Amino acid sequence: MTALTKTLGVTALLLAVGAAFQLHLLHRQRAESRELTQKTAALDVRIGQTRDQRDQALADLSSMQKMVAPAQTESGKPVAGNSELGRWLERVNHLEQALKQTPDREIPEMKYLSSNDWLSVTMGNSLETDAKIRGALSKLRALAKAKPQVAANLSKAVAAYIKSNDGRLPADAGQLKPYLNPSLPDELLRRYEAAPEIAGENDAKGLVRDGMQFLGSGRVVLQEKAPVDEDYDTWIGILEKGGWATLGVSRLGKAVTQAEKSFALANHGQDASTPEQLIPYLTLQIDSAKLNEYWEVHRR
Q: What is the mean pLDDT of the chain?
A: 80
The beta-strand segments (E) located in the chain are 46-48, 192-194, 202-203, 206-209, 212-215, 220-224, 233-239, 244-249
Of 115, 144, 173, the position where a domain reaches its end is 144
Q: What is the pLDDT of residues 9-21, one digit of tens each?
A: 444 444 445 555 5
CA distances from 4 to 12, 14, 71, 233, 279 (A): 12, 15, 12, 47, 62
CA 12 remoteness from chain centre: 30
Strand partners, 220: 239
Residue 26 lies in a domain: yes
- What pLDDT score was predicted for residue 77? 44
Compute how many other C-beta atoms are within 10 angstroms of the C-beta atom of residue 42: 24
List, edge to edge, every strand of the sheet that includes 202-203. Answer: 202-203, 206-209, 212-215
Of 119, 144, 169, the position where a domain reaches its end is 144
Per cent of the chain over pLDDT 70 is 72
- What pLDDT score was predicted for residue 93? 96
- What pLDDT score was predicted for residue 12? 44
Give the orientation angle of helix 61-75 with respect to helix 3-35, to 10 degrees.
130
Residue 180 lies in a domain: no
Residue type for position 300: R
- What pLDDT score was predicted for residue 19? 52
Residue 230 lies in a domain: no
Residue 186 lies in a domain: no
Of 129, 144, 159, the position where a domain reaches its end is 144
The domain in which residue 288 lies consists of 251-298
- What pLDDT score was predicted for residue 100? 97
Strand partners, 247: 235
69 has pLDDT over 60: no
- What pLDDT score was predicted for residue 20? 55
- What pLDDT score was predicted for residue 66? 47
Residue 36 lies in a domain: yes
Confidence of residue 163 (pLDDT cuts 50, 70, 90): very high
Q: What is the pLDDT of residues 164-193, one digit of tens each?
A: 999 999 999 999 999 999 999 999 999 999
- What pLDDT score was predicted for residue 214? 84
Say whether the peptide bond before residue 182 is cis (omega within 30 degrees of 0).
Answer: yes
Q: What is the rounded CA–CA span in Å between residue 201 and residue 172?
A: 20
Q: What is the mean pLDDT of residues 187-203?
A: 95
Residue 79 lies in a domain: yes
Residue 163 lies in a domain: no
Residue pair 297/136 in contact by the 8 Å Cβ criterion? no
Q: Are residues 138 and 18 in the same domain?
A: yes
Looking at the 3D structure of the chain, how many domains does it have? 2
Q: What is the mean pLDDT of residues 43-53?
A: 37
CA torsion through residues 20, 122, 108, 51, sign: negative
- What pLDDT score was predicted for residue 244? 95
Confidence of residue 298 (pLDDT cuts 50, 70, 90): confident
Confidence of residue 211 (pLDDT cuts 50, 70, 90): confident
Q: What is the pLDDT of residues 70-123, one digit of tens each?
A: 444 444 444 444 588 889 999 999 999 999 999 999 999 999 999 999 999 999
Q: What is the pLDDT of residues 276-296, one digit of tens each?
A: 999 999 998 888 898 999 998
- What pLDDT score was predicted for residue 78? 44
Residue 150 lies in a domain: no
